[in-house]
Chains A and B, each alone.
Chain A
Amino acid sequence: MEPSGWAKAPSVLRPGRHFLQGDEACAEGAIAAGCNYYAGYPITPASEIMEHLCRRFARMPGRVFVQMEDEIASIASVVGASWAGARAMTATSGPGLSLMLENIGYAIITETPCVVVDVQRAGPSTGQATRPGQGDVMQARWGAHGDYELIAISPWSVQEAYDETIRAFNLADRFRVPVILLMDEAVGHLRENMTVPDESPIYQRWKDVTRAPFGEAEVPPMPAFGDGASLLVTGSTHDAWGYRRTTNSQAQDQLVTRLVSKILNHGDEIERSFLHLRDDQDLDILLIAYGFTARSALAAARLARQAGVKAGLLRLTTLWPFPDEAVRHAAACAARVIVPELNRGQMLREVQRVAPQAQGYHKTNGEVFAPGEIWAAIQQELAQ
């Protein structure tokens, strides 16, 4: 049997500095993570990921690229390939994520590792296809029906688009769960320098064919089709060996409870957030932001510091599961908290759950925040 668990894989791209676009860095991160199946459908502003992987996979034997007929088929084939043993990914934007959500729910109940990239644009609906937004935060969290937990990660830079894509693949295999990489148009189309490391950590899927593939262990083993496990995979409620249990209340309760707790019990492995400009003193104002908006917020906090205001930034990289403790801890030292977002306050309410003093600052005109705008919002908040 192949070894499972953590290992190191040498980088595919030449180690060192590269000048890349966010979408390209995401694609290169996928390649570094061993992604060997990509299915997608064209959509702005995510198409560059598909185009880049199409070119790169063509020279990499064993890596499969396919353009499917729609987003539903894309995620369906990704799940099929994952069960055939692939490290599989698709990428889209908000409208495509909407179409994928039923099968993301299927990936959750069948515990299928896969990575879904959503390069968010201004919505709702077709909205402004080339303009940034952060309006899919709640769609990513609650878009599929039923009760579940999944993992969503939001990179703020080209470097993180690379690093966090690798982490997304590893978390997907570690917890047998779909991981949504919530980029935004501004990060996806951003070009800047990044550093490719010599090697990256890779989590190899546990493939024991002798253990139950849907229970007993908190995160059960996942053999591939053709491994001789006679897998019985179904989106209906099932027992530990996959037999449908469509009216058994105990089976339903056990399955949902395990699907939720296998994520929530491991926040320490999943959550990632960063405190910027934070010293030991109490803060006058704490900004909490993610994605491209965190760049504007960091610049705004620097403007505030220059003006003598003790401002700090808590930057969330893992959005789901929500990092309650990190937010509570950071907010406890700040009299005032502002959550700037390119939406009407989707993450604000989550923050308020653990930091009731938080105020929102929203922008939904299809443009990113200028640092001065957030600095002005800070001044207004301090004047109250």
Chain B
Amino acid sequence: MKKGSTAAILKYIRPRSFPTPFCPGCGHGILLGAILRAVDELALDFSKMLFVSGIGCGGWIPSPHFHTDTLHVTHGRPVAFATGAKLFNPQLQVVVISGDGDLASIGGNHLIHAARRNVNLTVICSNNLIYGMTGGQVTPTTPRGARTLTTPAGNPEPPFDLARLVAAAGATYVARYSVWHIRPLIASIKGALQHSGFAFIEVLSTCPTHYGRRNENPMPAGMLRALKKNCVTLERARSLDPAELAGKTVIGQFVPEPAAPLATAP
């Protein structure tokens, strides 16, 4: 069986966990698959992996789907729970998967402190720019001007640049990709899983139900196309001036800076 194939990753799925709770068009299923493909391609011992997640749609990516130890915790705190498990048993490979509201808003303090400590964790933030599970409220990563349930006239606040925030806090591996950029995303997850120290990947995901619907992009395919159109690689961004970069999202590996150029997006 080909490593990383759909048939190969079914063995990591817990019985009784389908159908997934995700809405049609949600990007989290793509991320779920990408993580398991990375695990399979690296041939990691899944039974020695622990997946910790918080509250929200992103927290449901590993729990209950991943058929190994999973810890689904209180809102915002997965990084702190994961820190305890990892410090006590360094043999566990501990991965945090949660959303932007969970990790960047209520859990922002734990995120930057774990990055500062360089705890040996992999943290994957499924960033769909919105609180999905509670119905579509603004988050700290919602773009300025975007309409949400709690910013009906457009978001007046600027968002966090999560990848750069965590890099500034001291993380020793930082990358940002989207669920459209699936090959570089899987490669990056593999890099993060093999990294010794605090690794953070921001993964832009799609929420047609609560974000796209209110921002003139209600269809799943349209949201994926927008990711393709709005993302520019770090290498390309270096040759663009600020005006050309307005409204774009820079993707790539921020820390450590890659020695060779990454493969461009398909």
Contacts and interface: CB of A to CB of B under 8 A. Distances in A.
B5 interface: no
Contacts of B86: 80, 84
Given A73-B110, A232-B70, A235-B72, A80 B14 contact: no
A102 B77 CA distance: 11
Interface SS, B side: mixed
Contacts, number: 126
Interface in B113-147: 113
A236 interface: yes
A90 B67 CA distance: 31
> Interface size bucket, B side?
20 to 34
Given A70-B109, A76-B73, A81 B64 contact: no
B50 A77 contact: no
Interface stretch (A48-56, A222-230, A296-304, A372-380): A222-230
Interface string A56-71: 0000000010101110
A242 B69 CA distance: 11
B97 interface: no
A83 interface: yes
B72 A234 contact: yes
Interface string A28-40: 0000000011010
Nearest to B21: A244
Contacts of A152: none
B82 interface: yes
Contacts of B77: 72-73, 76, 103
B89 to A, nearest CB: 4
A247 B113 CA distance: 36
Contacts of A243: 16, 64
Interface string B221-245: 0000000000000000000000000
A284 B67 CA distance: 65
B149 interface: no
B83 A232 contact: no
A36 B67 CA distance: 28
Contacts of B82: 80
Contact of B81 (A37, A66, A77, A244): A77
A85 interface: yes
Contact of A83 (B83, B85, B87, B113): B85
Interface string A16-35: 00000000000000000000
B88 interface: yes
Interface string B199-228: 000000000000000000000000000000
A72 B73 CA distance: 12
A235 B70 contact: no
Interface of B: 14, 16, 47-48, 50, 52, 63-64, 67-74, 77, 80-89, 91-92, 109-110, 113
- Can you list the 9 inter-chain pairs with the closest CB atoms, starting with the nearest? A77-B84, A80-B84, A76-B80, A81-B84, A80-B81, A73-B80, A234-B72, A80-B85, A81-B88
Interface of A: 36-37, 39, 64, 66, 68-70, 72-73, 76-86, 88, 102-103, 106, 224-226, 228-236, 242-244
Given A72-B80, A228-B47, A232-B14, 6 more contacts: A37-B88, A66-B83, A68-B80, A77-B87, A83-B69, A226-B89
